[in-house]
Amino acid sequence: MDIVVCVKQIPDPAAPQSFDGSNNLDRSGKLILDEADTYGVEMALQLVESTGGGEVSVVSMGSANDVSGVRSALAMGAARATVVSDESLRGSDALTTAKVLAAAIRRHPFDLVLAATESSDGYTGTMPVQLAELLSLPSVTFAKAVAIEGTTLRVQRQTELGYDEVTAPLPALVTLTAGVVEPRYASFKGIMAAKSKPIEVLSVADLGIGGPVGAAGAREAVVAIDAAEARQAGEKYVDEGDGAERIVAFLESIKVL
């Protein structure tokens, strides 16, 4: 069972975000592995173990100047990484990203592609399904549990009312909701081993992608960026045993009670 996990290096979500001069998210600072992707890496490692071996690889698009986020996935246990890095990709939209990752994934055989439901920085949330369509794969999104039975994938897919049991033949693509597995911490041994694991860096030319990419290929444009209407802070009290009473009084004042 060979599993490819799509991962993204993002600016630390705890740090303030801003736009660069081209209205793209400023990514000039330190980049980390999106925590949303750690569930995919963990799930892939568990599935490979439970199905009797195989390889977990990660694929990513972004700057190759700083690959410490990708190394974090290798330190968890992934065997190798592919990073597509090209100045021309700056400003790419989700569909271009899917085209790039599809081209990178096609270079090696695989049984399953895993991704997060959305990234924590851009949170567009359409790239994985676009990728499935480009790779002609069935997809099961919003998975809360994944099992492999022979060549069949069995997924619990989140719904508004609970979940659906969904099956699909392999190869397939699955997106995982957060919290479905507990991502392992990289061990010291894992961190040391990751330093010598292969990271293949590819350009757009290496992948033979036709047509414009990056900002030139994006077919959406920002018209304006404005400050949103701000909310005002109301009253704040330190609880001295009267907190519950104050909440009840407030709920009465707005006629919820």
Partner 1 sequence: MDSAPIWVLAEPAEGTFTTTSLELLSHARGLSSEVAAITWGAGGALAAPAGEYGATTLYDVGDLGGALPGVPVAAAIAGLIERGGAPRAILIPSSYDGRDVAGRLSARLDRPVLTNATGLSDDGGLVTEHPVFGGSLLVRARFSAEGPGIVVVRAKSFSAEASGGAPASVVAAPPGELGTTNAAAIVAHHVEERTGPQLEEAAVVVSGGRGLGEAPAYSLIEELAGLLHGAAGASRAIVDAGWVPYSRQVGQTGKTVKPTVYIACGISGATQHMVGMKGSKNIVAVNKDPDAPIFQIADLGIVGDVHTVLPALIERLRAR
Cross-strand bridge partners of residue 140: 174
Q: Does 178 bind partner 1 (CB under 8 A)?
A: yes
Q: Which of 57, 60, 97, 130 binds partner 1 (CB under 8 A)?
A: 130
Of 1-9, 64-72, 81-89, 151-159, the window that binds partner 1 (rule: CB under 8 A) is 151-159
- Residue 177 found at the interface with partner 1 (CB under 8 A): yes
**Contacting partner 1 within 33-92 (CB under 8 A):** 35-36
Q: Does 220 bind partner 1 (CB under 8 A)?
A: yes
Complex with partner 1: residue 60 or 119, whichever CB lies closer: 119
Other Cβ atoms less than 10 A from the Cβ of 7: the count is: 29
Distance CA 34, CA 8 (A): 6
Enter the tokens of residue 17. 């975000």
**Among residues 60 and 97, whose Cβ is nearest to partner 1?**
97
Q: Please report whether residue 205 would count as binding partner 1 according to CB under 8 A.
A: no
The H or E element containing residue 132 is helix 127-134
Binding segment (CB under 8 A) for partner 1, from list 61-69, 79-87, 197-205, 246-254: 246-254
Exposure pattern of 73-108 as b/e (b: 16+ CB <10 Å)? bbbbbbeebbbbbbebbbbbbbbbbbbbbbbbbeee
Site of tokens 């895993």: 114
With respect to partner 1, which residue has the nearer C-beta, 87 or 182?
182
Closest CB to partner 1 among residues 87, 229: 229
Give the tokens for residue 15: 């740090």
Residues 6+ apart with CB under 8 A from 199: 64, 67, 70, 71, 74, 80, 81, 82, 83
Element (H or E) spanning 31, and its range? Answer: strand 31-33
Among 50, 68, 126, 187, binds partner 1 (CB under 8 A): 126
Q: Is 151 in the site for partner 1 (CB under 8 A)?
A: no
Nearest distance from residue 209's CB to partner 1, in Å? 13
Binds partner 1 (CB under 8 A): choice among 21, 109, 162, 208: 162
Residues 6+ apart with CB under 8 A from 134: 98, 99, 102
Kindly state the number of chain residues that form the binding site for partner 1, as judged by CB under 8 A.
84
Please, what is the minimum distance in Å from the beta carbon of residue 80 to partner 1? 27
Is residue 225 a contact residue for partner 1 (CB under 8 A)? Answer: yes
| Ramachandran angles phi, psi of 98, nearest 5° | -65, -40
Candidate list 4, 48, 139, 213; residue touching partner 1; CB under 8 A:
139
The answer to whether residue 109 forms part of the interface with partner 1 (CB under 8 A) is no
Structure tokens at 22: 């081209």
Considering the rule CB under 8 A, would residue 199 count as an interface residue with partner 1? no
Q: By CB under 8 A, tell whether 198 contacts partner 1.
A: no
